[in-house]
Chain A
C-alpha cells in the first residue's frame, strides 16, 4: 500500500475507514506497531464500529493519509480484535506516557506521534513532546499558529527522533524495538539518577535493571537513601551484590545500613571477602559521625619505602582506590605518622625515602567526632581528604571532600523531587 508524506497519530485517530464502495467500516481506534528496520512500522489498524473492535492489517489498506483512509476489505471480511498485552499499540502504550529523552537527559510526555511513509510502510519516526503536539491534540494548532503570527512569532517544533527514546515501561522493551538499550548507560550517572528520581518507583527500578554494573553503581550512589534501598531490594541478590561491590565502601555501607539486617547480611556474603570486611567495619560507626562518613579506601605505604618503589606500587593500587591524591605513611604498627601528596611524590627524586618528603604535622579527626567538625577542618585547611585516626594513633579511614560536599549540598536526585 503506498503511503507517502507524513502524518501525526492525532490526525488519524477517530478518522473513518472506508471500504471500496465508500461505506464506513469503522473508525480508527489504535495503531499496532512492530519492530522494523531501521524504525518500527505500523502493522495494522484497530478499528471500532459500534463498540466492537476489528483488526485491519496494513497490507489491506488502499489509501492512507490524513484526509482519507480506505481499505480493500469489506465489512463481512473483517476479523474481530481483542486487546492483548502482547501487541504494542500507539495510543494505548505510547501516547500520553512518559518516556526518557536520552538526548536531553530528561523525562518528557508523548503528546503526539509522527509517522512517515517509507517504502510503502508507515514508519514511526518521531514523538512530539512540544507545545505543537498539545495544541494539535486539542485541535487548535492551526488557530494558534495564526494567532501567534500576528505577533510575528511562531511555534517551535519539538520532535524527538525515535532513536533517542528510551521507553520507561518493561513492555516496550519486551518487543525489542530499534531503541538502543545502551542509550541510557551512555548518560552521565548523575543524569540517570535525576531521571530515575522523576518517575515512579516501579519504572525507576526497571530502568535500573538495564544499566551495566559500573554505571548502576555510580547512579545508585546519587539517589536518595530510601530509593537506593528500594532498588537494591528489587534486584536479585547476585546483581545487587555486584553493584554494591563496585561502589566505594563508604557508599556501600550507607546503602546496607538502610536495608533490613538479613538482607544486608545476605548481600555481604555475596561480596568479595576483603571488600565485605571494609564495609562491615564502616557499618559499625554512627551515621553522622566522622566514622560514619569515612571510607577505608585509601593508599598507605611504609616510611622507609623509596619514592620510586612507592610510585610503582601506586600505579597498581590507584586502579582500585577512589581517592588517590594523598599517600598516607603508616609505621609498623599501622599508626599514622605522616602524609604526602601525589604531587609531591611525583616531583620528588626517585631515590628519596617517603619518610623524607612526608608532612608530619597532621590534621586528623577521631571516629566519634561529629561530621560537621570534619567538614570544618577540611574547609579550614583546604584538604581533599582528612584521615580518621583514633586516640591510639591507628588510622581507620579517610573522609573525602566530595563526601563533605554531598553532606552539605545533597545532589538534586537525593533531595525530594518536589520540595514541599
Chain B
C-alpha cells in the first residue's frame, strides 16, 4: 500500500479515539488542571506522562475489543457477566454521570457568568439548545458542531504560548518526577489521573468504535487514532497547567474553579487569555453536557435491552428519552436552585466514579482476555503484566482518593 493510500485509510478510521480524547477534558478536568497549575506551578506536569501511558494501555484494549467484537462494553458485560453486574454498573454510571453532567453545566454556567451573562438565562438556554440539537438536529449538523467544538480546545494551546513560559523549566518538570509530601499535592496528582481515566469514556470509546464498524484488518489505524487521541488529551492538559503555572502561580493566586482561572488571567495576561479560557470552558462544559447524558442513556438502554435512539419518541423509547431528558433537566435545576447540594453532588460523583472504575477496568481486562470473544486478539502475556500493573496502580490511587474525599486529611 502506498503511503498516500495508507494515510487516506487512517483518515477514514480516525475519529472515535480523537473525539473521546477531547471530551475527556471536560469541565471538571479543566478545573483540575487549572487548580494544579495555579497552586503548584509546573511541578505537577510530570504526572501527565505516566497518565498518558496508563491511558494508552487502557484505551488500546478497549478499542481492540470494540473492533474485534463489534459490540459495546455494556453489551459485553451484560452478555458475559449477567444482568446483576450490568445493572449495578449501569446504576453507578447513571449516578456518576449525573454528577458529571452537573459539573459540565456548572462549568458552562460559571463561564457565562464571568462573560457577564446571567446563569439563570444561560443554563436553561444551553440545556434546551443541547436537547433540541440532539433530538431534533440532523446527524450531519450535530457532527459539524462537535467537530468545531473539538477544534476549540486548541485555544488552550494558543493561551499556553501566549503566556510566554520559560520553556526550560517547563520541559524539565514535564519529564523529571518530583514528589512532595504535601496532602494537597498528592490529592491533585491523583485527581489528574482520576479526571483523565473515567469509567464512562471506556464505554463511550468502545461503542463509538463498534459503531463505526472498523474491521480487524484496519485495527492498526484505529490503534493509531486512539494513541493520538490519548496524546491530544494530555497535550491540552499540559497547556492548561502551563498557562496557569506561568501566569497565576508566580503571583500566588489560589483558585478553586476553572472560571476563576479565567477571571484571574484578565489583569495578568489581558483580554485574550481571559476570553480564551472563558470560551474554552464554556465549550468544554457544553460539549460534555451533550455527550455525557446521551452516552449514559445509550449504554443503559443497550445493557438492559431497551429501545434506544435519538430519533425516537418518548412513546417508542421511553426509558431512553426519559434518562436523557431528565439528566439534563435535573442537572440544570440543581445549578439554578440556590442552596442546592452542588458540592455534595460533586463529591458523590467523584466517589461513585472512583468506585466504578476498578470494576469497569477489571471487567474490561477479563473480557479482553476471553478467547471465545477475542480469539487470537487476546492480550499477549507480557502485555497483561503491564495492563494488570496499570490497573492495580489506578485502583490503588482512586481508592486512596475516595478515602481522603470521605475522610479529609488534616494537614
Is residue A129 contacting chain B, with contact meaning CB distance below 8 A? yes
Is residue B154 contacting chain A, with contact meaning CB distance below 8 A? no
The interface centre, meaning the residue of A95, A96, A108, A203 with most chain B CB atoms within 10 A of its CB, is A96
| Contacting pair A138 B139 (CB below 8 A) | no
Is residue A188 contacting chain B, with contact meaning CB distance below 8 A? no
| Contacting pair B304 A109 (CB below 8 A) | yes
Is residue A66 contacting chain B, with contact meaning CB distance below 8 A? no
Is residue B17 contacting chain A, with contact meaning CB distance below 8 A? no
- For residues 190 through 207 of chain B, which have their beta carbon under 8 Å from a beta carbon of chain A? 207
- For residues 224 through 280 of chain A, which have their beta carbon under 8 Å from a beta carbon of chain B? 226-227, 230
Partner of B146, one of A129, A203, A420: A420
B: interface residue count bin = 20 to 34
Kindly state the separation between the CA atoms of A110 and B79 in the bound complex, as whole angstroms. 10
The interface centre, meaning the residue of B71, B75, B207, B213 with most chain A CB atoms within 10 A of its CB, is B213
Whether A96 touches B211, Cβ cut-off 8 Å, given contacts A109-B305, A202-B70, is: no
CB contacts (< 8 Å) of B71 on chain A: these are 200
Kindly state the separation between the CA atoms of A416 and B207 in the bound complex, as whole angstroms. 12
B interface footprint on A57-87 (CB within 8 Å = 1, 0 otherwise): 0000000000000000000000000000000
Is residue A412 contacting chain B, with contact meaning CB distance below 8 A? yes
Whether A230 touches B294, Cβ cut-off 8 Å, given contacts A109-B304, A200-B69, A201-B70, is: no
B interface footprint on A382-420 (CB within 8 Å = 1, 0 otherwise): 000000000000000000000000000000100111111
Partner of B294, one of A129, A202, A417, A420: A420
Is residue B219 contacting chain A, with contact meaning CB distance below 8 A? no
Is residue B83 contacting chain A, with contact meaning CB distance below 8 A? yes
Whether A419 touches B207, Cβ cut-off 8 Å, given contacts A200-B70, A226-B213, is: no
Stretch at the interface among B278-286, B306-314, B363-371: B306-314
Whether A227 touches B213, Cβ cut-off 8 Å, given contacts A96-B82, A97-B79, A109-B78, is: yes
Q: In the complex, what residue of chain A is closest to B87 when comparing beta carbons?
A: A138
A interface footprint on B196-228 (CB within 8 Å = 1, 0 otherwise): 000000000001101101010000000000000
CB contacts (< 8 Å) of B213 on chain A: these are 201, 226-227, 230
Kindly state the separation between the CA atoms of A95 and B304 in the bound complex, as whole angstroms. 12
| Contacting pair A418 B78 (CB below 8 A) | no
Is residue A137 contacting chain B, with contact meaning CB distance below 8 A? yes
CB contacts (< 8 Å) of B82 on chain A: these are 95-96, 137
Partner of A416, one of B78, B211, B295: B211
| Contacting pair B305 A129 (CB below 8 A) | yes
Is residue B174 contacting chain A, with contact meaning CB distance below 8 A? no
Whether A419 touches B79, Cβ cut-off 8 Å, given contacts A108-B305, A129-B305, is: no
Chain B at the A interface: SS class: helix
Kindly state the separation between the CA atoms of A129 and B304 in the bound complex, as whole angstroms. 9
Query: With contacts defined as CB atoms under 8 Å apart, how many contacts are there between chain A and chain B in the complex?
Result: 67
Kindly state the separation between the CA atoms of A415 and B212 in the bound complex, as whole angstroms. 11
| Contacting pair A134 B304 (CB below 8 A) | yes
| Contacting pair A419 B70 (CB below 8 A) | no
Is residue B329 contacting chain A, with contact meaning CB distance below 8 A? no
| Contacting pair B290 A420 (CB below 8 A) | yes
Kindly state the separation between the CA atoms of A418 and B294 in the bound complex, as whole angstroms. 10
CB contacts (< 8 Å) of A420 on chain B: these are 134, 142-143, 146, 208, 290-291, 294-295
Q: In the complex, what residue of chain B is closest to A409 when comparing beta carbons?
A: B138
- For residues 196 through 236 of chain A, which have their beta carbon under 8 Å from a beta carbon of chain B? 200-203, 226-227, 230
Kindly state the separation between the CA atoms of A412 and B309 in the bound complex, as whole angstroms. 10
Is residue A111 contacting chain B, with contact meaning CB distance below 8 A? yes
CB contacts (< 8 Å) of B134 on chain A: these are 419-420
CB contacts (< 8 Å) of A203 on chain B: these are 70
| Contacting pair A417 B211 (CB below 8 A) | yes
Is residue A98 contacting chain B, with contact meaning CB distance below 8 A? yes
| Contacting pair B139 A134 (CB below 8 A) | no
| Contacting pair A418 B304 (CB below 8 A) | no
Whether A200 touches B210, Cβ cut-off 8 Å, given contacts A138-B84, A417-B309, is: yes
Nearest chain B CB to A222 CB, angstrom units: 15
Whether A96 touches B311, Cβ cut-off 8 Å, given contacts A138-B83, A200-B69, A200-B71, is: no
Whether A419 touches B139, Cβ cut-off 8 Å, given contacts A109-B78, A200-B69, A200-B70, is: yes
Is residue B298 contacting chain A, with contact meaning CB distance below 8 A? yes
Q: In the complex, what residue of chain A is closest to B19 when comparing beta carbons?
A: A420
- 27 A-B pairs whose Cβ atoms sit less than 8 Å apart in the complex: A96-B82, A96-B83, A97-B79, A98-B305, A110-B305, A111-B83, A111-B305, A134-B87, A134-B304, A137-B82, A138-B84, A138-B87, A200-B69, A201-B215, A202-B70, A230-B215, A412-B309, A412-B311, A416-B139, A416-B211, A417-B211, A417-B309, A418-B207, A418-B208, A418-B298, A419-B139, A420-B134
A202-B70, A420-B143 given; 6 more Cβ-contact pairs under 8 Å:
A138-B84, A200-B70, A200-B210, A230-B213, A415-B139, A418-B208
